[in-house]
Amino acid sequence: MRYLSAPARSVWRWVCRAGSAALERLSANMWSVLQAAIAATAAWIIAGGLVDDHSPFFAPIAAVIALNTVGGERGTNAVRMLLGVVIGIVIGELSIALTGGGYVAMALAIGVAMTIAVAVGAARLVIAQSAAGAILTVAFAGGQVGLSRLTDALIGAGVALVMSQLLFPTRPTTRLRRIETAALVEIVGLLDATGRALEEDEDPSLRTVDRLGALSRPMADLSRAQENSHRSVRWTTARWSSPEPLRYEDERVDRLIILGESCLSLARTAAAMDPSERRRIAPVVCEMAAVLDVLADDLGDRDARQRAVDLVLDVARPFGEDKVGDPVTAATHLSVQMVATDIMLFAGLEPERAAQALSGEDEEPKVAHPPREPWLPWPSRGSSSVRSRRLRRRPFRRR
């Protein structure tokens, strides 16, 4: 590297970062790609064996389309795709019967099929598939392609449902933790940028605003993933396993959203302080970012959670003893304690224990081990109580 020119070193660093990001994306999505390949091959073999004189090109396409989404939406995607195909084929056949085919039939079929899909409030996938089904049905006026497409869609969607709901149901807790980690990384970036701006005597508000856009996406992903996880538990074999890991992680999502708001409040109050007070609070904001970075390294590790609690208590406890007259400084000190409390709650401490730890009543609070998600979605043999069976049957209620 030292023999390269400055532009060459910049290019090399960019290549290394891009390569590392690509490997991370491959690692995160390789299992989904493998499942889609298996499902597409199985759908193609089944459709080719069931229907004579037929090229089953749409069956594997249907399977891949149905599985090409996040874990909790794969079954929904299969049903949406099938609904769109049915609408398109039925409207296409009716338009041929009314007009005899041609350009008029094509325009009528596409317009009516998409109008019906929009009118019933269907998703974008249903609208697109209804238009595609109408186009293929009218383009091949005999209707064989439309009917064979329906058969392929049924087979592809069926294979996708078996893969996503029975054989390889999604692991909602693992997915939630992955999105929580992404949100934590963005919160770390927000606090770190604020702390550096305070150290450099700049206006922290500008850097905070720059980081808000990056923070809003993972926060929105958290809420969406939470709902998808509930749907996944209701409609897959994951509903038969212990609900405790997902209940625990569901509460962590709520805690993380509140933590993001308290970190934003700390950034805003710190930006309003006097320059001398800013330089004093700057290392505290950076230390809070470092604590969250410890959590983001491994959310499933109890030791990482415990280390984060110990570190944040060392940072925040002195601010409970300071009595200041300036209201902005007092608000900033309160924000530091709020962030510390929210970090402890997110790490797994109960509210009472977190308050005692922050006040010094509990010198060494201990974080419990987070419940582990079972690898297989089926219940263990030892759980036979009536209450356990009742919990497994309906782990979550619709909100």
Q: How much of the chain exceeds pLDDT 90, in percent?
A: 15
Binning pLDDT at 50, 70 and 90, where does residue 386 land?
very low
- Residues 237-293 have pLDDT tens digits of 555 556 677 788 888 888 998 998 898 888 888 888 888 888 888 899 999 999 999
Are residues 101 and 184 in contact, defined by beta-carbon separation less than 8 angstroms? no
Residue 312 to residue 290: CA distance in whole angstroms: 9
Is the pTM higher than 0.85? no
The DSSP line for 370-393 is PPPPPSSSSPPTT---HHHHHHHH
3-state class (DSSP) for residue 193: helix
If you average pLDDT over every residue of the chain, what do you get?
Answer: 79
pLDDT at residue 383 greater than cutoff 50? no
| pLDDT of amino acid 259 | 92
3-state class (DSSP) for residue 34: helix
**Which segment, 4-18, 200-214, 333-347, is predicted with the most confidence on average?**
333-347
| pLDDT of amino acid 232 | 58
Q: Which two tokens stand for residue 50?
A: 């069931």
Q: Which two tokens stand for residue 288?
A: 């809070």
Q: Exposed/middle/buried for 161, CB within 10 Å: 0-12, 13-18, 19+?
A: buried
Q: 69: which DSSP letter?
A: S
Q: Which two tokens stand for residue 358?
A: 């922050």
Residue 347 to residue 248: CA distance in whole angstroms: 11
Binning pLDDT at 50, 70 and 90, where does residue 81 land?
confident
Q: Which two tokens stand for residue 6?
A: 């400055």
More confident call, 116 vs 51: 116
More confident call, 359 vs 142: 359
pLDDT at residue 199 greater than cutoff 90? no
As a whole number of Å, the CA-based R_g of the chain is 27
Of 168-182, 198-212, 312-326, 338-352, the range with the lowest mean pLDDT is 198-212
**Cα angle value 225/228/233 (rounded, 5°):** 125
Mean pLDDT value across residues 376-382 = 48
Q: 325: which DSSP letter?
A: S
Instruction: Provide CB contacts within 8 A for 227, sequence distance 6+.
Output: 72, 399
| pLDDT of amino acid 230 | 63
Residue 180 to residue 145: CA distance in whole angstroms: 45
pLDDT at residue 234 greater than cutoff 60? no
pLDDT at residue 342 greater than cutoff 50? yes
C-alpha distances out from residue 388 to 90, 242, 382, Å: 46, 8, 10
pLDDT at residue 110 greater than cutoff 90? yes
pLDDT at residue 343 greater than cutoff 90? yes
| pLDDT of amino acid 61 | 83
| pLDDT of amino acid 391 | 38
| pLDDT of amino acid 310 | 92
Of 315, 334, 316, give the one whose Cα is nearest residue 324: 334
pLDDT at residue 384 greater than cutoff 50? no
- Residues 120-167 have pLDDT tens digits of 888 888 898 899 888 888 887 555 566 777 788 888 888 988 887 778
**Which segment, 2-6, 146-150, 301-305, is predicted with the most confidence on average?**
301-305
pLDDT at residue 381 greater than cutoff 70? no
| pLDDT of amino acid 395 | 43
pLDDT at residue 396 greater than cutoff 50? no
Q: How much of the chain exceeds pLDDT 70, in percent?
A: 79
- Residues 20-57 have pLDDT tens digits of 888 878 877 788 889 889 999 999 999 887 766 667 77
Residue 350, amino acid = E
